[in-house]
Structure 1
Amino acid sequence: MSATARPDTAGGRAALLEFYDDAVVDVYGYFHRRCRHRSVAEDLTTETFLAAVDSIERGVVETVTVAWLVGIARHKLVDHWRRTEREQRRLAAVGAEPDPPPDHDWDVHLDALATQDVLDDLGEHHRSVLTLRYVDDLPVADVARLIDRTLHATEALLVRARRAFRTRYEEVTR
């Protein structure tokens, strides 16, 4: 499995295509684990690779790695959550009800499943800040930069998100 592609070499196109075949699994998996919706994961994977190609064509990057692509993916995921949150606010403003969380036909027996269900039930802003901080293990300052908030606003959001998560988790696991 190729870990990098050098698009500026003579075989750049072939190398990039070969790299794509290897890296698409990692990038798609990154999205699917975080949003659990196949179509969203596929769309975000496409957006990530289009952004990578654009960066390569502009000469912004010399060597493409999976880590660099996951960095682009992280930004695309945050953008997706922001778009979703804006859309939900617009719907609420006109009196529409947001879509209910998906129903599950089975009882939740594992804490990991309960945790994912609770994350799915949270608002996009809470889910994104908790995922970036505790799943991606980013420092609060990096989370603040990614969600375009001040450090103090991000810390306050994390407090509210943890409280919402804890309350919902206790309801789900009782």
Structure 2
Amino acid sequence: MSEPRVQPDPAFELLGLYETALPEVYGYLLSRCGNPTVAEELTSETFLGAVTACRRPEAPPVSTAWLIGVARHKLADHWRRREREERGLRLVHEQEVETTDPWDGQLDALMARQVLDELGAHHRSALVLRYVDGLGVPEVARLLGRTVHATEALLVRARSAFRAAYREKEGSDG
């Protein structure tokens, strides 16, 4: 009869990576949400979620890139939660869609960050995933739990809302 072998806990590999990956994960989240408190909470959620995920039999090898992927999912979850909360507090007013693309011109980065922070979570999440993270529409749709067509429509509305808010801020700052 052979002795049962104890497998090492994969979470120990994550623990070894923690100190080097922590600043990168936190920096990734902070640059996307702009709020240190939220970034800290999401970083914590990322590492807690990673411990559970890395213990699954089909888990990929633990790496900083994998942790950033976990963080991206936690951020998308945060935006979905926030959007549900905001939706419960206000009525959604659809804006008229313009045919010109605001992304063709140059934007003031600081003002663009402020405008993004003022948008609803659903618009902000779609724009950040698409234009800051550079993800394709199908990947954005998957992360937001939407169909591709619903995500395309959301991006149209989000760009319109961004454009209107940016122009308003541009006019009030000028």
1:102-132 Cα offsets, whole Å, 9 max, x none, are: xxxxxxxx91110000001111100000000
Find the aligned partners of 2:157 and 2:38 in 1 and give their Cα distance.
26
Which of 133, 138, 143 is residue 136 of structure 1 equivalent to?
Answer: 133
Which of 125, 129, 142 is residue 145 of structure 1 equivalent to?
Answer: 142
| 1:173 aligns to 2:165 (yes or no) | no
- What residue in structure 2 maps to residue 164 of structure 1? 161
Q: How much has 1:146 moved relative to structure 2?
A: 1.1
Q: How much has 1:149 moved relative to structure 2?
A: 1.2
Find the aligned partners of 1:56 and 1:76 in 2 and give their Cα distance.
15
Q: How much has 1:92 moved relative to structure 2?
A: 3.5
SS of structure 2 residue aligned to 1:58: coil
Higher relative contact order (CA 8 A, sep 6+): 2
Which of 44, 48, 53 is residue 51 of structure 2 equivalent to?
Answer: 53
Q: How much has 1:59 moved relative to structure 2?
A: 2.9
**For residues 55 and 163 of structure 1, do their structure 2 counterparts lie closer, same or farther at Cα, with a shift above 3 Å needed?**
same
Gaps of 5+ in 1: 1-8, 94-109
1:14-49 Cα offsets, whole Å, 9 max, x none, are: 643231000010100011111111111111001111
Gaps of 5+ in 2: 1-6, 92-106
Paired residues in the alignment total 151
**For residues 32 and 146 of structure 1, do their structure 2 counterparts lie closer, same or farther at Cα, with a shift above 3 Å needed?**
same
SS of structure 2 residue aligned to 1:143: helix
Find the aligned partners of 2:115 and 2:45 in 1 and give their Cα distance.
27
Percent identity, please.
57
Q: How much has 1:51 moved relative to structure 2?
A: 1.0
| 1:69 aligns to 2:64 (yes or no) | no
Letter in 1 for 2:140: V
Find the aligned partners of 1:161 and 1:13 in 2 and give their Cα distance.
39
Contact 2:11–2:54 (Cα < 8 Å) also in 1: no
Equivalences for residues 101-140 of structure 1 within 5 A = 111-140=108-137
Equivalences for residues 69-88 of structure 1 within 5 A = 69-88=67-86
State the 4+ residue runs in structure 1 displaced beyond 4 angstroms: 9-15
**For residues 136 and 11 of structure 1, do their structure 2 counterparts lie closer, same or farther at Cα, with a shift above 3 Å needed?**
same
Letter in 1 for 2:41: D
Greater C-alpha radius of gyration: 2
**For residues 35 and 62 of structure 1, do their structure 2 counterparts lie closer, same or farther at Cα, with a shift above 3 Å needed?**
closer
Aligned-residue CA RMSD (Å)? 2.2
1:58-110 Cα offsets, whole Å, 9 max, x none, are: 233252111111111111001001111111222338xxxxxxxxxxxxxxxx9
**For residues 154 and 14 of structure 1, do their structure 2 counterparts lie closer, same or farther at Cα, with a shift above 3 Å needed?**
closer
Q: How much has 1:10 moved relative to structure 2?
A: 6.2
